[in-house]
Amino acid sequence: MSQTATTRAALTSPDLPTDLPTDLPTDLPANAGRAATGILIVLMAQLMLVLDATVVNVALPHIGSALSFTPASLSWVLTAYTLAFGGLLLLGGRLGDVFGRLRLFEIGLATFTAASLLGGLAQTPEWLIAARAAQGVGAALAAPSVLALLTTSAPDEAARNRALALFAAVSSGGASLGLLLGGVVTDLGSWRWTLFINVPIGLAVLALAPMFVTDTARRPGRFDVVGALTATGGAVALVWSLVGAPDHGWTSPRTVGGFVVGLLLLAAFARTETHVAHPMVQPHLVRNPRRVGALVMMALVASAQFSLFFLVVQLMQRELGFGPLATGVAFLPLSLGIFTMSRFTPRLVARFGPAPLVTLGALGLSVGFLLLAGYSAGDGYWPMVFVPLLLNGLSAGLVFMPITGIALADVEPEHAGSASGLLQTTQQLGAAVGVAVVVSVYAAGAVPGQFLPGAPAGFLTSAAFGTIAFVVAVTTLVASRRNVRRIAVEPVA
């Protein structure tokens, strides 16, 4: 093979954006400093949104006692946020495309910050649940704009890859950091500070964003009302059914009815998007097999990762006797693994492409869950929990940034918000599916008052999610990568 053919094969690989330079730039763009500050500000907002998904977890016993929650209703402190966040993400992405991403980012963040203050002041269960739902609404409006602003504001491709790596690290590692932060503020202060802590961060981001974050061009056109209603209704129905399935049963009328309504609404949404002039989600975004593979992988990896928090928190507090703060500290190997790997992932992607990293990362996640499934009474934290958590963090660091890059590759700037909303919707729905399935499997084998009897089956279910993600990576990413490279170097007859 000639050198020219080899170079052409490398540059036409679908693993890399078509305009990716072969070498990192030696001269910084004129606006690099301002862009870097803007990226940092946007990432701070993303960290706050992700932290809130888990920061109250370790404080739930304190919240239940303080506000007199019943055991069944206490789960709605988490569910209300997930339901609003996951159900409204597609709508938030499209609104950002139409009305401006920076503007919607500010509206969503202001809503989230105000709801955090109200939640911290809550005096009744209903008050807190309503505030958590409002937080979810604000997060759904802001989150798609976060990723869109990152990808469109980076001054060059190298900066874009670094921003995506940091976004992936914040998004995947922030959940475990939320457990640490929740444990610290609950042990040293009050559960209310798990919500109050968002207020100064939110106000600072709102003050700085207009000065450093560059808005993107709006996409003119009419708003797809039918698409918005069917997409939002379908997503809410599915999330509502999934989060309630462990309590009500997978075959209960509530669960089955919610699934049927959700699927019907999503089918109506899919039909609507192919018949309107300005759809919420461009149909071509889901016609690319590599992008669809990346979305499926994101859902599967999120299913495994969020079920990890449920199971390992239970293991640490019920089996090992850890308190809230100790539980948060014990999750540090996961966070450190993710943030460490995120420093190397951009260069690894530039060198090898995303497909090998995603494949290796999915395999590592599966192995980590298999190790946790082998935990038995008396094993302790070292090494039977520490090692799997560290392996999980390193593997997640390999997976999230490349998946994000593949899902957003070759997306037109005017559709970046919709693509971001689609990616994060699959992540949220995947997390809801994973937690619901794993909790159901765990509960089927559980013994009242004991954690370990049902735990192996739960961890094996999470390992199955990782294994399916590995298969998807091999069949949709690695295979297509090889096919395109073979075609690129084939001599012309």
Residue with tokens 């004129």: 30
Task: Indicate which CATH number applies to the domain containing 68.
Answer: 1.20.1250.20
Q: How many helices (H) and strands (E) does the chain have?
A: 20, 0
Is 4 part of a structural domain of the chain? Answer: no
How far apart are the C-alpha atoms of 250 and 227, rounded to whole Å? Answer: 28
Give the range of the structural domain holding residue 73, as residue numbers without chain letter. Answer: 32-223+278-489
Residue 476 is given by DSSP the state I
Cis amide leading into 402 (omega within 30): no
Q: How far is CA 368 from CA 271, 339, 394, in A?
A: 41, 18, 10
Is 18 part of a structural domain of the chain? Answer: no
**Do 237 and 126 share a structural domain?**
no
Domain count of the fold of the chain: 2
State the CB neighbour count (10 A cutoff) for residue 253.
Answer: 9
**Do 412 and 388 share a structural domain?**
yes
Tokens found for residue 329:
């500290």
Q: What pLDDT is stored for residue 458 in this prediction?
A: 92
The continuous run of DSSP H or E covering 178 comes out as: helix 157-188
State the CB neighbour count (10 A cutoff) for residue 51.
Answer: 24
**Do 244 and 128 share a structural domain?**
no
Is 11 part of a structural domain of the chain? Answer: no
The residues with which 277 forms a beta bridge, in sequence order, are none
**Do 284 and 269 share a structural domain?**
no
**Do 158 and 70 share a structural domain?**
yes
Residue 493 is given by DSSP the state -
Residues in the chain: 493
pLDDT in 10s for each residue of the chain, 493 residues: 443 443 333 333 344 444 434 443 444 455 566 777 888 888 888 888 888 877 887 777 788 889 988 766 777 888 788 888 888 888 888 888 778 888 899 999 999 999 999 999 999 999 999 999 999 999 999 988 887 787 666 666 777 777 777 887 787 677 777 878 888 888 888 889 989 989 999 999 999 988 888 776 666 666 788 888 898 888 888 888 887 787 788 889 999 999 999 999 999 998 988 888 778 777 888 888 889 999 999 999 988 988 888 788 888 888 898 887 888 889 889 988 988 888 888 889 888 888 899 999 999 999 999 999 999 988 999 989 999 999 999 999 899 888 988 888 888 777 777 788 888 888 888 887 888 788 888 888 888 778 889 899 999 999 999 999 999 999 887 655 554 343 333 443 3
How would you class 251 by CB atoms within 10 Å of its CB: exposed for 0-12, middle for 13-18, buried for 19 or more? exposed
**Do 374 and 312 share a structural domain?**
yes
Helix axes 289-314, 354-373, angle to 10 degrees: 30
**Do 297 and 193 share a structural domain?**
yes
SS3 at position 450: strand
**Do 323 and 212 share a structural domain?**
yes
Residues with Cβ within 8 Å of residue 172, at least 6 apart in sequence? 305, 338, 396, 397, 400
**Total-model pTM:** 0.77
Asked which of 213, 246, 277 is the last residue of a domain, the reply is: 277
The continuous run of DSSP H or E covering 203 comes out as: helix 198-212
**Do 161 and 147 share a structural domain?**
yes
With CA atoms as reference, report the closest residue to 481 among 406, 412, 411, 410: 406
**Do 89 and 109 share a structural domain?**
yes
